[in-house]
Structure 1
């Protein structure tokens, strides 16, 4: 994608308009449904295309559509619709109720969110993908919220928190690979450094979840009876995903497996099974379209110099080693807020971060960790990120309702800031190259 060499602050206007429309309207009116996400993103897209008046309209539309058609955006859209199909088919054959009842029979209500968070951490660190974790665990979180006093937004934020834990640490995560490679350090060294920085945040998150759900009670479900066969779709999906199978294959296979169980036990006929798949896809269409438009907006912002402006703005304010580490954190933060994609933000800012790290003697293990930590932090917070859109779509709630419960992403960022302030960890030997 073509990008102007000179930064341009005005190129950020579409993103600002989108945020003001989506969030500002809700704050002013106290009702976030007054400005639907799809309307806000279309208005911002129109502004993005209208900017740079010297360019031909056809050329600007081409740039917008290339951004919307970026391979990561299209992959995200496909995952959205497949996740919707799996979620609806599994729900229709009773998998959610069975899984929730199983959990309720094993854990008290005040430990359900803690358990969900820990499971999410484990799955994401073994899978290496936050999106895969989100679409696998969100239906279970929804079921737990429906059968307890736990707010739906809290359950979805817990799923995202667990997903971002592993996305930030996993040895097979694309963000770990990108951050380690751009900083010229090994993934195992990056993992060790990163782990000790963020683990306090995970522990505090678990404690917070335990405390705030201590008074919750479970709805009267009798003896919490469940058919273990109906739990198998989720169990198989999680196991297969952990083994490293592509998330699209996992979701397609899970949908078919859940449908076959439903056909055997009479929950579905051939027609109702197909209708459930269709309904699941329809449920995610709105979110998928929003993701496409956001990709187009980011493409226009990048072409017009908005991303370049942000990167240079941060770089020009670095004066010391500690400032360099905060500068690297700021670089990847503004990139992720602008692109809503943590992998792209790391790839985009990694080379510049490496130059800064070399100039100010920042250990590459630390710079790689900072890149990944702050990219994951903001990715778990921004209401227009893929993970947030996915769980909001599955749960039929506003992404903004989830944000106040984003304990782990916030604590992830706080841990990163503290590590920079106190110079943690101390390295016995520098690996700066």
Structure 2
């Protein structure tokens, strides 16, 4: 049963305390003791609960704050589990091996990084999910790139850049719809307005990865290693072009506006039967792969690293991380601690440039504190809507800033659900791929450039200003 939470004022110095302790514990645990981020977040949650209790909240209210935070993350938890099932089914069914095999035959090493950005971008644009793209095409891309001798962080950066470009520009994306909906902005106006920051970011990423890829031309990689890997894949899997119908079917379903989860479920079922019918495995083994992931015994370390993965249980680290992070984020948001910190940030807002910069900064701060990109869109949208109205800015200016600062920067926080998901799926830590997630950090920088120069900033016309104000006020 839901419990009503009566808002209480929390001084900013109290609000900052849980965040400061959590970050300190996170640095000590990860950097010094080489541990995992769960315990620091639990420490932060404990301190946040004590601060809330000290400022007058009852334990039932604090529990409700945590439950609300977890409920907000449940859609992400479902996607995480579906991706784990997909990876297991597609590895066991030989689908990933087939994509890697033909990718190695077709794609030039020097153009691989550019190619994988474009492919991931197109798939994410069609599917509307960066996570689904990274969990399928991205996994295969990691295998192809690493087989060509390209460092894993560099490949991961290209996969992330392409996946987030497609996700950001897709009308099927949950974050894209969330940002436009919360700001009362027409969805396609929102997407078209994001072209000004996202397309230049994509061009920068393509140029950088084009020059990086030149270091991995055919004359500079170990061709014998690739040939051996292809031979090992043929020895362990049935490689067939017909297996490519599985990912193509999923893409087609989403293109026909089938919701992402049912479409991914179809891919899981097709992968499951591919393992039984095409690969000749037993139903018992195929079920075990869905649960615990695929295991392969080979002397080729690269093949073992690529194909020993997937399954529902492989995502439990990410699921537990998501739940722990959202308990912390739930207390910070619903107790008003996050609001107290944001209010201090708003005091420095004087001009349009500082307003947009504050929005992007607030989105990143929310990503770091609440560990969830959805909250990084929801909370700043509530806080800044009236300020954008007062400054005479169109709502799409706010919606674009939320995406530039919230959606894209989530990948840089190792304990954010996005950072954890990428680590669990692509096997690369956020600190390692961060320098190569070029689109993700170039777009916020472009947005800041526009903010302080006034370029592409959409201001309200007098004719429709009152109507826009009314819509914003009715949504709050």
Q: What is the TM-score normalised by the length of structure 2? A: 0.81
Q: Secondary structure at the match of 2:415?
A: coil
Cα shift at 1:185: 3.4
From the superposition, tell whether residues 3 and 171 of structure 1 become closer, same or farther in structure 2 (CA, over 3 Å): farther
Give the structure 2 partner of residue 249 of structure 1: 262
Contact 1:6–1:308 (8 Å) recurs in 2: no
Give the structure 2 partner of residue 79 of structure 1: 79
From the superposition, tell whether residues 245 and 25 of structure 1 become closer, same or farther in structure 2 (CA, over 3 Å): same
Equivalent residues in 2 for 1:301-380 (5 A)?
301-380=332-411
Cα shift at 1:6: 2.6
Partner Cα separation in structure 2 for residue 152 and residue 356 of structure 1: 43
Q: Does 1:296 align with 2:344?
A: no
Q: Secondary structure at the match of 1:215?
A: helix
Give the structure 1 partner of residue 187 of structure 2: 187
Deviations 1:307-343 (A, max 9, x none): 1112211222111233333233333333333333333
Deviations 1:18-49 (A, max 9, x none): 4333345544x4xxx71112333333333334
From the superposition, tell whether residues 397 and 335 of structure 1 become closer, same or farther in structure 2 (CA, over 3 Å): closer
From the superposition, tell whether residues 142 and 175 of structure 1 become closer, same or farther in structure 2 (CA, over 3 Å): same
Give the structure 2 partner of residue 122 of structure 1: 122
Q: Secondary structure at the match of 1:213?
A: helix
From the superposition, tell whether residues 90 and 308 of structure 1 become closer, same or farther in structure 2 (CA, over 3 Å): same
Greater RCO between the two (CA within 8 Å, min separation 6)? Answer: 1
Deviations 1:239-269 (A, max 9, x none): 3234332232233221211121111123421
Cα shift at 1:100: 1.2
Contact 1:310–1:331 (8 Å) recurs in 2: no
Contact 1:384–1:399 (8 Å) recurs in 2: no
Give the structure 1 partner of residue 5 of structure 2: 2
Contact 1:99–1:140 (8 Å) recurs in 2: yes
Q: Does 1:417 align with 2:448?
A: yes
Number of aligned residue pairs: give it. 428
Contact 2:29–2:40 (8 Å) recurs in 1: no
Equivalent residues in 2 for 1:42-121 (5 A)?
42-54=42-54, 58-59=59-60, 62-63=63-64, 65-70=66-71, 72-121=72-121
From the superposition, tell whether residues 64 and 137 of structure 1 become closer, same or farther in structure 2 (CA, over 3 Å): farther
Displaced runs of 4 or more, over 6 A: none
Contact 2:353–2:452 (8 Å) recurs in 1: yes
Give the structure 2 partner of residue 36 of structure 1: 36
One of 240, 244, 252 as aligned partner of 2:253: 240
Partner Cα separation in structure 2 for residue 412 and residue 267 of structure 1: 47
From the superposition, tell whether residues 73 and 208 of structure 1 become closer, same or farther in structure 2 (CA, over 3 Å): same
Partner Cα separation in structure 1 for residue 144 and residue 276 of structure 2: 25
In terms of mean alpha carbon deviation, does 48-57 or 254-263 score higher?
48-57
Partner Cα separation in structure 2 for residue 77 and residue 401 of structure 1: 25
Q: Secondary structure at the match of 1:235?
A: helix
Partner Cα separation in structure 2 for residue 322 and residue 249 of structure 1: 42
Give the structure 2 partner of residue 271 of structure 1: 284
Greater C-alpha radius of gyration: 2
Contact 1:324–1:360 (8 Å) recurs in 2: no
In terms of mean alpha carbon deviation, does 15-24 or 120-129 score higher?
15-24
Partner Cα separation in structure 2 for residue 223 and residue 160 of structure 1: 25
Deviations 1:115-145 (A, max 9, x none): 1211222222333333333323332133224
From the superposition, tell whether residues 172 and 270 of structure 1 become closer, same or farther in structure 2 (CA, over 3 Å): closer
Q: What is the TM-score normalised by the length of structure 1? A: 0.89
Partner Cα separation in structure 2 for residue 111 and residue 86 of structure 1: 28
Cα shift at 1:209: 1.7
Contact 1:130–1:387 (8 Å) recurs in 2: no
Q: Please tell me the root mean square deviation across aligned C-alpha atoms, in Å.
A: 2.7
Long gaps (5+) in structure 1: none
Cα shift at 1:403: 2.4
